[in-house]
Amino acid sequence: MWINPLFQADARNEVAQLLGAHSLVTLVAESPLRAAHLPLLLEDDGESMRLVGHIPRVDPVAQAIDAGERILCIVHGARAYVSAGWYDDPGLSTYNFSVVHLEGAATTMTDPAELRAHLVELVRVHEEAKPAVDAGPWQIDAVADARIDALLPAVMGFRITVDSAQAKTKFGQNRSHDDRVATREHLHRSPAAEDREIAERMDDAVDAPDPRRPGH
């Protein structure tokens, strides 16, 4: 991924933030080109990062994972359309967004108990993070427990040890201060949750020095 230096971000901090809010990740394998979209959890001990997930064994990407191939994981954050009509300075419409690219070799889980523990943890993390629209976190009951056991043979658990990480946060750093303020104000007023999320992420970019050159 090419990154304009104006949009370069710390990958470790960004992936932790994005996976906490947008854990559905795009996995890409090559030769032949294949893709899958899966929820992943992050293991980070401060020295190394690992992405933990599971995939149906019938998925073509599972073949690459089982073979220990390198996998590209694309973690998408929120994105928002930015109209050039909001600018004081001349410009063109664009998107503000954040994204992280992580690469590494995959290893599979060989112990069914480890895979089961991952599935239970994945449910727990998402249930605790979901919006408060019901009585509270759903708990795995006996029926769901049996369903997990029935699915285990059809699912492959895996870890991807990250050895390359890039983060891009495009929040208007290439625009003037006045343009950044106007963009943030318009996005704050939007009914779309992603627009408002980008507006909040723009807080640091708004007060950044004006760029010496524009960028995409």
**What average pLDDT does range 122-146 have in this prediction?**
89
55 assigned to some structural domain: yes
118 assigned to some structural domain: yes
215 assigned to some structural domain: no
Q: Which CA distances in Å does 179 have to 95, 113, 210?
A: 14, 53, 10
206 assigned to some structural domain: no
212 assigned to some structural domain: no
Total number of domains constituting the chain: 1
205 assigned to some structural domain: no
CATH for 155: 2.30.110.10
28 assigned to some structural domain: yes
Beta bridge partner(s), residue 99: 76, 168
Q: What is the pLDDT of residues 191-210, one digit of tens each?
A: 999 999 999 999 877 777 77
**pLDDT at residue number 135:** 82
pTM over 0.85, yes/no: yes
Rg of the chain taking only CA atoms, in angstroms: 20
- Domain with 97, as residue range(s), is 5-175
170 assigned to some structural domain: yes
**pLDDT at residue number 163:** 97
Nearest to 30 by CA among 56, 57, 54, 64: 64
Given a cut of 80, whether residue 103 has pLDDT beyond it is yes
**What average pLDDT does range 176-189 have in this prediction?**
94
**pLDDT at residue number 212:** 56
